[in-house]
């Protein structure tokens, strides 16, 4: 289940992120890669302990917490602090096929995050670069994703994915992982469908008694399945 989450950041927030990143030092992206992915990863990252990375990471976390579509699609339990990467045409940067590490420890803590959901938040506008598509494989085939700056895609952490070579300009993005209250991808997708259906029904027929019964069903299913 790929979900496009529009307008996670406002254009002002995107510009702020870009300005902070323009004066930051970037390092080889292999610092956070596992053994297999290090062999296919060619990009740059902001070192996560720097003041710039921390400020921007918190900005993204605040934006996520106020976004109802992210909350509904992901049902977050623990969010790994967002990281930032860059792929330059100068350097022919790309990231070959890989699956993200299953479990990550939040630096400086003992908190472990099972990476149920992967997220990419685009910070460059599509007309600033060529290539750089995020390609995600699922049971229905492969999906190439390139979104407006400020928009995000979420997809199951189990998916094989890659980023195609950037052939013009630079592609800047934030990426992170979330442990969901519902680890099972099928259950999580059904909860999202149910929530979206309730919202549609409530919009079309706000007085309909099924709004209450389906909302109860949603919460009772969540109570059955949630790890909190």
Q: Residue 208 annotated as binding?
A: no
Q: Number of H helices and number of E strands within the chain?
A: 6, 16
Total residues at the site for Ni ion (CB under 5 A)? 1
Q: Residue 205 annotated as binding?
A: no
Per CB under 5 A, the segment of 39-47, 94-102, 126-134, 195-203 that binds Ni ion is 94-102
Q: Do the Cβ atoms of 177 and 100 come closer than 8 Å?
A: yes
Q: How far is the CB of 47 from Ni ion (least distance, A)?
A: 18
Name the residue nearer to Ni ion (CB basis): 100 or 116.
100
- According to the binding rule CB under 5 A, does residue 100 interact with Ni ion? yes
Three-state SS for 223?
A: helix
Q: Do the Cβ atoms of 62 and 70 come closer than 8 Å?
A: no
Q: How far is the CB of 161 from Ni ion (least distance, A)?
A: 6
Per CB under 5 A, the segment of 54-62, 96-104, 129-137, 205-213 that binds Ni ion is 96-104
Q: Give CA 19 to chain center in angstroms.
A: 21
Three-state SS for 73?
A: helix
Q: Is 49 exposed, middle or buried (0-12, 13-18, 19+ CB in 10 A)?
A: exposed
Q: How far is the CB of 175 from Ni ion (least distance, A)?
A: 7
C-alpha 1/C-alpha 68 separation (Å) is 17
- According to the binding rule CB under 5 A, does residue 195 interact with Ni ion? no
- According to the binding rule CB under 5 A, does residue 88 interact with Ni ion? no
Binding-site annotation: residue ranges for 2-oxoglutarate: 171
Enumerate binding residues for Ni ion (CB under 5 A): 100
């Amino acid at each position: 289940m790929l979900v496009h989450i529009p307008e996670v950041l406002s254009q002002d927030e995107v510009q702020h992120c870009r300005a902070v990143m323009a004066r930051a030092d970037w390092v080889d992206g292999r610092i956070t890669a596992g053994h297999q992915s290090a062999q296919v990863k060619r990009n740059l990252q902001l070192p996560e302990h720097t003041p710039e990375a921390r400020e921007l990471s918190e900005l993204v976390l605040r934006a996520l917490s106020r976004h109802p579509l992210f909350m509904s699609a992901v049902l977050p339990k623990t969010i790994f602090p967002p990281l930032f990467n860059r792929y330059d045409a100068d350097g022919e940067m790309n990231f070959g096929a890989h699956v993200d590490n299953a479990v990550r420890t939040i630096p400086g803590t003992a908190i472990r995050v099972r990476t149920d959901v992967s997220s990419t938040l685009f910070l460059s506008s599509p007309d600033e670069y060529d290539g750089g598509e995020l390609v995600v494989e699922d049971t229905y085939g492969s999906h190439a994703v390139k979104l407006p700056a400020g928009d995000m895609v979420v997809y199951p952490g189990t998916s094989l994915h890659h980023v195609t070579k950037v052939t013009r300009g630079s592609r800047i993005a934030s990426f992170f992982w979330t442990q969901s209250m519902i680890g099972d991808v099928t259950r999580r997708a059904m909860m999202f469908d149910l929530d979206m259906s309730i919202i549609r029904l409530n919009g079309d027929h706000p007085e309909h008694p099924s709004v209450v019964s389906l909302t109860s069903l949603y919460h009772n299913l969540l109570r059955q399945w949630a790890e909190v």
